[in-house]
Amino acid sequence: MLEKYRSKVVTADKAAEAIKSGDWVDFGFGSGFPELMDAALAKRKGAVTDVKIRGGLVYRPSIAVVECDPDHESFDYYSWHLGNAERKYFSAGQIHFAPMLLRLLPQMYREYLTVDVACIPVSKPDENGCCGLGLASYAWKTIMKKARTVIFEVNEHMPTLQGVDGSHRVSLDDADLIVEGEHAPLAANKYRTPSEADIKIAEYVVNEIPNGATLSLGVGTVPFTIAEMLAKSDKEDLGCHTGTISDAFLMLYQAGKLTGRRKEINTGLAAWNLASGSAELYQWLNDRPDLFYPADVDYIHNPRNMEKLSNFISINGGVQLDLMGQENAESVGTRQLSGTGGQLDFLEGAFLSPGGAGYICINSARKDKKGQLHSNILASIPAGSTISAPRGLIQNVATEYGVAHLTGLTLKERAYAMISVAHPAFRDELKAYADATFK
């Protein structure tokens, strides 16, 4: 199947020679990571200078171009959204973080960013020389058009789905170079056991989800617990339009709940941009390509597409909220934990959807290493912390004490609603602040 393209096939080391000093290189986002090109480029330390690599939400335990070059002799790595390894590197001052909104990322590439080399992980090609984009449609189709050199890294483990209408498809014709080789198993993610508070939060939210709802579920224990409860409930005909498809949706499918029958667009299909979860999830994607509409960021994350879906429900977590409903989803003070990603996109989409609703799910309080209790609902977000979502887009906040419905409320009414779901140990001081501040 590769005979027509055999002249393009090179080793990863040879492909890395296409990367020159001063180049901007894209490694992609999420579970789609070009591990062979990462390792090959790292070998060029000292042979090139000022090579700048973009990536984000990397699930692998390490990134070779970062590990090999702590003094930035050759490489600088820029993350759009910190995954576990990137968080460690960022805290150590080894990489840079660049904030963005995912739905605007393709436009940033089209209008503002330089791309010299794109290293794109793809699935094994079919008999027509077409590949799927594996676990990440991301913004690859936009980036490919901008790049001077396009390198396809064929990963033998990637699901081979190409989208029911080619939404996830690329052709080997689009590649300048093709790299093959042996890859590590795809990165798998697990969920921690839910706490009593997580279970209570999930129960409150599940009670508000209508039959026929289309779901966007963040990746985390509470969204997974919500899916687990929905799978055991009497809810019917749920749909999927989400940034990241996960085992939560596989569970709903196995329970017969995920039909997508009532979706006004992509009817009957689960629509997503990234995939992250277990080996069983990846096998599902591979075995049932007829069920999925994987598509580019500027389709999946476009609130105007979510607006076409009735009862679109967005569920995400957060770090802190203040009494006005402003949310910090990504930092502790100036210490960056993750990124804004797509949360704002889906909050807006839920707001626009007829019957839709956005939920921020958060434990009311947390304990530090010394056992001291701290409220996650604050009078105000501390200086230096990020405002990931403005108060005007936060419709509902769920804690283990209930759901605060904020839409249309005045500042004082919002404050009192937030206090009602705060931990009881902090309600008196929050009320005193609210009474003194909001008239």
Residue-wise pLDDT for 348-382, tens only, equals: 999 999 999 999 999 999 999 999 999 999 999 99
| 276 and 402 inside one domain | yes
Determine the average pLDDT of the residues in 253-271: 98
| 259 and 116 inside one domain | no
Per-position DSSP letters for 69-81, written without gaps between them: -TT-SSEEEEESS
> In whole angstroms, what is the distance from residue 90 CA to residue 75 CA?
15
pLDDT on residue 180:
96
Is position 247 within any domain? yes
| 157 and 266 inside one domain | no
> In whole angstroms, what is the distance from residue 50 CA to residue 52 CA?
6
Domain edge (last residue) among 127, 152, 178: 178
pLDDT on residue 396:
98
Which tokens sit at 96? 């840079």
Rg from Cα positions in the chain: 22
Taking alpha carbons only, the member of 301, 362, 365 closest to residue 329 is 362
Is position 401 within any domain? yes
Question: For residues 430 and 422, is the Cβ–Cβ distance under 8 A?
Answer: yes
What total number of domains does the chain contain? 2
pLDDT on residue 1:
57
Domain residues for the domain of 275 are 194-435
CATH of residue 409: 3.40.1080.20
pLDDT on residue 63:
98
> In whole angstroms, what is the distance from residue 180 CA to residue 198 CA?
43
| 337 and 227 inside one domain | yes
Is position 188 within any domain? no
* 239, pLDDT greater than 70: yes
pLDDT digit string (tens) for 69-87? 999 999 999 999 999 899 9
Quick one: angle between helices 221-232 and 247-254, nearest 10?
0
> In whole angstroms, what is the distance from residue 327 CA to residue 190 CA?
26
Is position 93 within any domain? yes
Is position 413 within any domain? yes
| 168 and 210 inside one domain | no
pLDDT on residue 416:
98
The whole-chain average pLDDT of the chain stands at 96
pLDDT digit string (tens) for 378-437? 999 999 999 999 999 999 999 999 999 999 999 999 999 999 999 999 999 999 999 999
> In whole angstroms, what is the distance from residue 270 CA to residue 251 CA?
13
The whole model's pTM is what?
0.96
Determine the average pLDDT of the residues in 55-81: 96
| 222 and 129 inside one domain | no
Determine the average pLDDT of the residues in 251-271: 98
* 149, pLDDT greater than 60: yes
| 216 and 305 inside one domain | yes
CA distances from 298 to 106, 230, 275 (A): 7, 29, 16
Is position 165 within any domain? yes
> In whole angstroms, what is the distance from residue 245 CA to residue 140 CA?
18
pLDDT on residue 96:
97
Determine the average pLDDT of the residues in 282-287: 98
Is position 184 within any domain? no
Is position 273 within any domain? yes
pLDDT digit string (tens) for 85-134? 999 999 999 999 999 999 999 999 999 999 999 999 999 999 999 999 99
Percent of the chain with pLDDT over 90: 94
CA distances from 417 to 94, 159, 424 (A): 42, 45, 13
| 340 and 283 inside one domain | yes
User: β-strand 365-367 against 402-405: which pairing, if any?
Assistant: unpaired
| 131 and 253 inside one domain | no
Task: Please identify which residue in the block is written with the tokens 């009735």.
Answer: 310
